[in-house]
Amino acid sequence: MKDILHYDIAVIGGGMAGMTAGVYAARANRSCVILESNITGGLTNSTYLVENFPSYTSIHGMELMQKCRDQVDSLGVAVEEVCEIQSVDLEAPYKRIETEEAVYLAKSVILATGRKPVLLDVPTECEQVHYCAICDGAPYAGKKILLVGGGNSAFDEGLYLKHLGVAQITIVEEMNRLFAAQAAQDALLGCDNVRCVLGTKVKDLAVVNGVLTGAVLENCASGECAVVEADGVFVFLGQIPNNELFKDAIRVNEAGYVLADADMQTNIPGVFSAGDINVKQFRQLTTAAADGTIAALMADRYVRSLG
């Protein structure tokens, strides 16, 4: 028999939007739980340096999110990490969220599930494919790596890998141009041990006894293939909305992002959404915090309306 736990507000997702919502829910004297499928912090944990968040000139992403977590804990918000949600029923008077361990019943729910990385689409799998240099980069000091993607994330992570002391970086971009900020391009491409291959995609991985030895690169124009040596692959091909739990109940756009209004209200009364999961022009830590603030204040107002 699973435990049945009652809360005023349940927040799904423990990134900047979710934890900000938790802070505001607690300050409104609402009982609140944050349910996070991984560890709290979201994608910001994989950001080496945050330099555009007011109050800090420069701070490591994981350190910033730990400070958010400390504040959430100090306010008595319940936090469940590595919490796999099995099902949700958002249309009932008491919103129902079921995990492996418990059933959560909440008067209001805030969806703050954010986004997740686009996976490398190749037939062969191995453990040496990664999506976070800060999480997984340290073992590759002195080794050769493949960096897949030509945007800001790829170059920021590439600079971090360079800082770790990788022996060689090969950047692979499917388009015929790079998209990262010019300053980041100059910083990384100016290194002797960094080369860039444009108009090329990763067709497959070369794996021997479960260990990566290289990758098969295909020229997008000619179809010609070549194998490059690599000890690890770091993939930064963009992100997609993390909406599997609720996409059949909540209105989303063609790309899967939630169609919430300016008050973070979704199409279901009492269900709000915040942060990168929403349709929006800009996705920044500051905009996520703003969304979380609004969602929590509106959730508090909704709970009050129930009497």
pLDDT digits (tens, 9 = 90+) for 250-260: 999 999 999 99
pTM for the structure as a whole: 0.88
Whether residue 1 has pLDDT greater than 90: no
pLDDT digits (tens, 9 = 90+) for 143-160: 999 999 999 999 999 999
For the chain, the average pLDDT equals 96
Is 173's pLDDT higher than 90? yes
User: For position 228, what pLDDT does the model report?
Assistant: 96
Give the mean model confidence (pLDDT) for residues 128-142: 95
Residue 10 has pLDDT above 90, yes or no: yes
The string of pLDDT tens digits covering residues 33-47 is 999 999 999 999 988
Instruction: For residues 298 and 273, give the distance between their C-alpha atoms in angstroms, rounded to a whole number.
Output: 11
Q: How confident is the model at residue 122 (pLDDT cuts 50, 70, 90)?
A: very high
Residues in the chain: 307
User: Which pLDDT band, with edges at 50, 70 and 90, does 224 fall under?
Assistant: very high
User: What's the confidence (pLDDT) of residue 37?
Assistant: 96
Which spans in the chain are helix H?
A: 16-27, 61-74, 133-136, 152-164, 182-189, 285-305
What is the C-alpha R_g of the chain? 21
> Nearest 5°: phi and psi at 28?
-90, 10
pLDDT of residue 47: 86
Q: Provide the 3-class DSSP secondary structure of residue 39.
A: coil
Measured at the alpha carbon of residue 273, what is the angle toward residues 103 and 107, in degrees to the nearest 5? 40
Q: Is the dihedral of CA 129, 132, 135, 137 positive or negative?
A: positive
Domains and CATH numbers, the chain: 3-116+240-305 (3.50.50.60), 119-235 (3.50.50.60)
Alpha-carbon distance of 45 to 39, in angstroms, equals 9
57-70 pLDDT tens trace: 999 999 999 999 99
Q: How confident is the model at residue 74 (pLDDT cuts 50, 70, 90)?
A: very high
Does the pLDDT value for residue 232 go beyond 90?
Answer: yes
Residue 64's pLDDT is 98
What pLDDT was estimated at residue 48? 83
Predicted local confidence at residue 117, as pLDDT: 94
Q: Is the confidence at residue 109, as pLDDT, over 90?
A: yes
Instruction: Say if CB 150 and CB 173 are below 8 A apart.
Output: yes
Share of the chain above pLDDT 90, in %: 96
Quote the tokens at residue 189: 């491409």
Mean pLDDT, range 275-288, rounded to an integer: 97
Rounded to an integer, what distance in angstroms lies between the CA atom of residue 49 and that of residue 41? 14
pLDDT band at residue 164 using 50, 70 and 90 as cut-offs: very high
**Per-residue pLDDT, 49:** 85
Q: Which pLDDT does position 46 carry in this prediction? A: 86
- Residues 233-254 pLDDT 10s: 999 999 999 999 999 999 999 9
